[in-house]
Chain A
Amino acid sequence: MLELRLVQGGLLKKVLESLKDLVNDANFDCSASGFSLQAMDSSHVALVALLLRSEGFEHYRCDRNLSLGMNLNNMAKMLKCAANDDIVTIKADDASDSVTFMFESPNQDKIADFEMKLMDIDSEHLGIPEAEFQAIVRMPSAEFARICKDLSTIGDTVVISVTKEGVKFSTRGDIGTANIVCRQNPSIDKPEEATIIEMEEPVSLTFALRYMNSFTKATPLANQVTISLSADLPVVVEYRVAEMGYIRFYLAPKIEE
């Protein structure tokens, strides 16, 4: 028996909106510690890892570990039927082939339940080693989204370079080139507008902008994004999900020419 009640149901709506274009089908893993997901895109270039810790739910009952295979587009369709301020409850029986999403309005005058069929999904779980990163950039998520969107109008790839001067995003295409440099800015008064760069060593890596733009669908979840880089490792683009967890996108670099 699984019953997860999330007062901030809007968070789950935003999580699904940020996943559904990257991954078609995925297993949500439910255990005593939380509700999580790890899935790759179909070309095995990008991976998403989601964790919503059990403490973040108003009510969290998970009698035994369960894996719920869901089509993320269909799940997103159902969650779109919830209002942003609805309380969302996810329910499933151990042997059931369906999951129920219950939406309650904040003053309890409207209650809806949507039942969705579950799927059997063969998922390949990846072991992600703990890595020491050469550079970690924390910046406003809206700024990062804007940069990825702007650069993708000019080129297909972005070179992200971190030096002690700042973080530089560069692209080149048929019509020309573009470079955007963001300098460190502690923004004491408005921490959500800060750009903080922690650098052990300068690092420069090339990534496909198509995936970066897909990751920025998570922008409504958090004011800040963290971009962790090391030479010859996938970049990690992380958005916090309120106080309860995170959504992390991993993207393998392009091969330098």
Chain B
Amino acid sequence: GGGQYSLGKFFLFG
């Protein structure tokens, strides 16, 4: 259960 965060929430795409 529960959703999944993606990395883009934490890291900046450069």
Q: Which 6 A-B pairs have the closest CB atoms?
A: A255-B3, A126-B11, A252-B5, A127-B12, A44-B6, A127-B14
With beta carbons under 8 angstroms apart, the residue of A45, A124, A232 that contacts B4 is: A45
Distance in angstroms from A113 CB to nearest chain B CB is 36
A60 to B6 CA separation, bound complex (whole angstroms): 36
With beta carbons under 8 angstroms apart, the residue of B2, B7, B8, B10 that contacts A254 is: B2
Range of interface residues on B (Cβ < 8 Å): 10 to 19
Please, how many residues of chain A have a CB less than 8 angstroms from a CB on the other chain?
A: 25
Q: Which residues of A contact B1 (CB under 8 A)?
A: 157, 257
> Is A256's CB under 8 angstroms from B2's CB?
yes
Residue of A nearest to B8 (CB): A44
Distance in angstroms from B14 CB to nearest chain A CB is 5
Distance in angstroms from A163 CB to nearest chain B CB is 22
> Is A45's CB under 8 angstroms from B7's CB?
yes
Query: Which label, helix, strand, loop or mixed, suits the secondary structure of the A interface?
Result: loop
Q: Which residues of A contact B2 (CB under 8 A)?
A: 157, 206, 254-257
Distance in angstroms from B2 CB to nearest chain A CB is 5
A residues with CB within 8 A of B: 40, 43-47, 124-129, 157, 206, 208, 232-234, 250, 252-257
A233 to B9 CA separation, bound complex (whole angstroms): 9
Q: Which residues of A contact B6 (CB under 8 A)?
A: 43-45, 252
Report 28 cross-chain contacts, Cβ distance below 8 Å, ordered by A residue: A40-B7, A44-B6, A44-B8, A45-B4, A45-B5, A45-B6, A45-B7, A46-B7, A47-B7, A47-B11, A124-B14, A125-B13, A126-B12, A126-B13, A127-B11, A127-B14, A128-B11, A129-B12, A208-B4, A234-B7, A234-B10, A252-B5, A252-B6, A252-B7, A253-B5, A254-B5, A255-B2, A255-B4
Distance in angstroms from A44 CB to nearest chain B CB is 5
> Is B7's CB under 8 angstroms from A250's CB?
yes
Q: Which residues of A contact B5 (CB under 8 A)?
A: 45, 252-255
> Is A254's CB under 8 angstroms from B11's CB?
no
> Is A233's CB under 8 angstroms from B3's CB?
no
Distance in angstroms from A133 CB to nearest chain B CB is 13
> Is B11's CB under 8 angstroms from A129's CB?
yes
